[in-house]
Amino acid sequence: MIELKGIPSSNGLVIGKALLYLEDTLPEIPRYKIEKTQINEEWERFLSATAGITNKIRQKLAKPAIKSSKERGDILKARLLMFEDIEFHENIENALKNKLQNIESVVWEISQNLVDKLSLLPSAEFRERAADISDMARELLNKLLSVQHFSLASLTEAVIVAARDIAPSQALAMDKNFVKAIVTDAGSSTSHTTIIARSLGIPAVVGTTSGSTQIKTGDILIVDGDKGLVFINPDKKTLSLYKKLIKENDVHLKTAKSLIGQDTATTDGKRFTLKVNMETPSELEKAIDIGAEGVGLYRSEFIFLTEGRAASEENQYHAYSEMLKAAKGLPVTIRTLDAGGDKIIPSLFQGVDEKNPILGWRSIRFSLSRPDIFMTQLRAILRASVHGTVRILFPLISGIEEMEQALGFLEEAKSGCDAKNQPYSDSILTGAMIEVPSAALVADSLIKKSDFFSIGTNDLVQYTLGVDRGNEKVNYLAQPEHPAILRLIKMTIDAAHKEGKPVSVCGETAGDARFAPLLIGLGLDEFSMNAASLYEVKRIIRENSFAECQKLAEKALCCASAKEVALLLNLGINQRS
């Protein structure tokens, strides 16, 4: 048995047969000189190839399955823009005239130069953009050379696809009836392929580094999309364990589905609110049907990441309006642009070189230093607020000064809307995202400028424990059960409750049912998670008493190590007393 560790990108547990997919290589590129009299002929070949591809994209966009999925629709539209990009066409035409080489070699050289430049930049987002350009060049060259490759759309049996990477063009062709899970060497939780997998409900583990060199077609794989684990040809013990987990998940799912419509309250009557984290509105209706009470975290940066540039006010207004309409009056918490760090928007961070981007120009720091972008976003949110119930969340707030600045910009944005007679809601709540220790330590002051707090446990763990979650050498230290994290959460909740204001957790911890009794005991008001976790968290809440959970939290806060807390969490609630 071989165990691989990667990035958990799309939830779910799957056991199945592997298909090693290595059809992403470029065809052999011919290179030869042409005469000036042949330039028009080569240029027409290029235009014909791009037209053939863009026509197919438009046909896909017209299909009902794509129209019902905003994620896949947006990615197809982004690809259409790439193939029709005027600057790209001009560069190809100029190189064709200057170099007098066949069109295939010109396309390869222009695209490869751009890919090489982007690949050298210190950002996962730039590397993903490079992968998109590589994919575009590959599709264009295959069309020019009439090369046919195996497509994931042609699968006829259920498999787990293992690959170096899966290009967006292939990911868009996936059928969840046949692609049961994906495992890739490259990728991140924000890549187009990951977004597509999540929208289809296909479990995914990306960033395994060497999966494609160790997995062979026909191998039996276990893919744990919750923990980012892949087991190649698992031993009997591991296989038995995961079969049991999958069976238990099915049982829990059936049990939890019976709770739809019932109150989310402990056995002694303490009520909690369950919300979902969302990037797009397409899955929100389904989440509401199974008990979501709103959107606790709307990651607005995905609008920017999809476009690769600063999104216009109109595009943002329409995106926020869609989400609010889909929420049908339930509250939607829109997090303002969380760019920078590991979420680079190419056109906004071009030429920016930071040694420590996670500690650098990102999130609210970026927004406050770019009033043009920040004000555009705030105006779009304000205008959309007439379509529902909006809460605005400012990310990575480190102290009261940043919160005051952000609120100042919001007031200025309101004035801008007033000047244009653009209506907006006068009951918008604003909150600070608690992701760095300094914010938790001054929570008593910060809450006076906030209507609510939302704790981002992913970054809180990273910054408190000094652990790069993406570094496989140290990510074992990223322990949300560490006593330091629990004490910061407790400090934050107590400060907010003293002022009569609510606190939610929107990091991965909120969707981990194992943590639910502990978060209840610490005094949390709201949980916000991926929709797939709603059932299980609700079941756990309904099976425990608030009094017992408080006792658990008291014990956990006195623990000296993460190991001690983990032991408490793994015991049954009755065994802890």
Q: Catalytic residue positions?
A: 192, 506
Q: How far is CA 351 from CA 122, 346, 348, 354, in A?
A: 10, 9, 9, 10
- Those residues with Cβ within 8 angstroms of residue 318's Cβ, 6 or more apart along the chain or in another chain: none
> What values do phi and psi take at 434, rounded to 5?
-95, 105
Cβ atoms < 10 Å from Cβ of 86? 7
β-pairing verdict for 273-278 and 229-232 = unpaired
- Those residues with Cβ within 8 angstroms of residue 218's Cβ, 6 or more apart along the chain or in another chain: 17, 18
Residue for token digits 């989400």?
A: 323
What would the two tokens of residue 269 be? 């009557």
Cβ atoms < 10 Å from Cβ of 32? 9
Residue for token digits 């296989």?
A: 239
The candidate with the shortest Cα–Cα distance to 227, out of 194, 203, 251, is 203
Cβ atoms < 10 Å from Cβ of 542? 16
Residue for token digits 């960033």?
A: 207
What would the two tokens of residue 512 be? 């981990």
What would the two tokens of residue 120 be? 């050298």
Q: Judge whether 465 and 479 are in contact, CB under 8 Å.
A: yes
String of b and e for 395-414 (b: at least 16 CB within 10 Å)? Answer: bbbbebebbebbeebbeebb
- Those residues with Cβ within 8 angstroms of residue 76's Cβ, 6 or more apart along the chain or in another chain: 57, 60, 61, 66, 172
The DSSP bridge partners found for residue 7 are 206
